[in-house]
Chain A
Amino acid sequence: MSARRVPRRAWVGLVLLVGLGLASWLAARVFPEALARTCPLGMDPTHPDRTVCELAFGGLWVSLAVGLAAGALSTLLGLGVAMAARAAGGTLEHQLLRVVDAVFALPDVLVVMVLQLAGQSMLDAGHAGGLGPFGLMVVSLALVGWAGPARMFRNRLASLEGQEFIAASRALGAGRWHLLRVHLWPALRPFVLAVFLSRLPTAILTESTVSFFGIARMEPMSLGRYLGTSYAALIYEGGSRVVLPAWGLLVLLVLGASLASQALGAGTRRV
């Protein structure tokens, strides 16, 4: 996709995402002391050694990393399943789509809760295959999040394969691999990016909710776990100053991903 074709809203979203990523990386990783000294919101009531800014920006960095990794993994899984379904065709494709529908119908938060618990038990028993809390969360989110992308990619591939230029290429003797490499993948690429960006907020919000329940052991703390551990202070010490910065960062993150995803998705909807 050329730079001129990318809608302005998508650029705004992408710039917002990259800006937040850079800000959280600089604040939480490169200059944490400067952030601790200059934070206008003071210390956190439940973590007396840390400022609200340190915890919010540190949490943003972790949430963003979880969202990016889980979004990428679920998009890749979905793409793989969609391509396998299209390549198989017939009854096998229909059966694969039934499995996709069944996974898609399950509520994300519930399944991630149970997967987290199972994964942590494996982690405790030393059978997690080198996965830490971060990897465990990414795998759990990807395991529940691949069905939506798989359905979307399969439908998009089916529409693309019905286009005249594909029929012409087939008539000229093009093989499956040639069609995929030369025609299908370039047409699918912006859509893949749009789907990946749409998975980002879902993964971040699901992770936040599961961490808030105290089921996930995200360390360092994500935004959700940070808010979850501040629960008592929020209720009994009137600490809305603790919630508002973390909430604002979460909203900006989702706004950036939604703007970019919707703009890119609208740009590819003509297929």
Chain B
Amino acid sequence: MSPALVRLGRQLVLVPIVAIASYFLMAALPLTTADDAKRQVAPEVLASYRRDLGLGQPFGFLRPWEKLFRGERLGTSAQGVTGDELLWKLSGSVGVGLVALVLALGWALAFALLRSRWKRGRLSLLGDALPAVAFGTPVFIPALLLAPAVVERGHLLPELSAALVISVWPGIFLGTLVADALETELARDYVRTARGKGLSPRAVLWRHVLPNVLPALLDAVGPVATALLAGSFAAERVFGLPYFGQLYVLAVLQKQVAVVVVATTVFASLLVVVGLVVELVRLLVDPRAREART
């Protein structure tokens, strides 16, 4: 069996494990809080809650999925969502994430080119300082700084602003990787040979160097996809976007077990899909991956 399929199989196994683990972890949480005023929960409310989530029943952990496939509202209150609404919210978050990915690739290319130029001059320190600033800045800080203009005065589109603040960290992260890989590849013998045979620097870069840099970039897509979606949670909260991230945070805070289970599993499945796409692209662009398959 090809190594790519084996890796995919291992990732797929993760999805039901995540679903079951999140169900039992959330189901173990008591309904009450430390606040004495809220300590008493009526027995009928508790019984309805347990019945609704299938607690104490054999295969009770399948209950959120039964509700999802029957088109019932997930959650134990009117704040729950249907499968269609969940899909709509997910598409909103994925849309913001895709715009952020495009922006991040732009940041990455710009940063890699600038860093290779700065390396020779007095600005080399900036090549180190910029990643530190980007990596030391949680998404919610630029979101908070942009929020007054976006939320209060409506100067910018909230979705675009969210994509912009989410894209900074992944962009600089990818840029650092591309810059390092470019530096390593440009120092290799085959580049010197190609140049010695009269190939233009542009041709060497596009035909020989960049195809070798691409696998390093693909390895980073998984962490970047996780960072983009996790970043969207904070950005959606600050900008008030009613998508998947906002839903997840509220569901955790309100202990909506079924919503958390389904949303967590959808999140894990999304990462598996990203992994599959990365493997397919790797097979297309990396001859070493194709050789390993055969």
Contact = CB atoms under 8 A, between A and B. Distances in A.
Interface of A: 98, 101-102, 105-110, 113-115, 117-118, 121, 123-125, 201, 205, 208-209, 212-215, 224, 227-228, 231, 234-236, 238, 240, 243, 247, 250-255, 258-259
B34 A251 contact: no
Contact of B34 (A124, A214, A235): A124
Given A121-B29, A121-B30, A209 B139 contact: yes
Contacts of A101: 10
A8 to B, nearest CB: 12
A228 B249 CA distance: 14
Q: Interface size class for chain B? A: 35 or more
A71 to B, nearest CB: 15
28 contacts: A98-B10, A106-B268, A109-B230, A109-B233, A110-B233, A110-B248, A114-B252, A121-B28, A121-B29, A121-B30, A123-B34, A201-B135, A208-B138, A212-B234, A227-B144, A231-B144, A231-B238, A235-B144, A240-B145, A243-B145, A250-B141, A251-B133, A252-B136, A254-B136, A258-B131, A258-B132, A258-B135, A259-B128
Contacts of A98: 10
B33 interface: yes
Most chain B Cβ neighbours within 10 Å, of A106, A205, A231? A106
B103 interface: no
Contacts, number: 120
Contacts of A227: 140-141, 144
A212 B140 contact: yes
B91 interface: no
B271 interface: yes
Given A101-B10, A243-B141, A213 B249 contact: yes
A174 to B, nearest CB: 35
A247 B135 CA distance: 12
Contact of A255 (B17, B30, B136, B141): B136
Contacts of B30: 121, 124-125
Contacts of A118: 25, 28-29
A270 B19 CA distance: 42
A214 B237 CA distance: 11
B168 to A, nearest CB: 13
Nearest to A250: B136
B144 A105 contact: no
Interface string B147-163: 11001100000000000
Interface string B197-233: 0000000000000000000000000100010011001
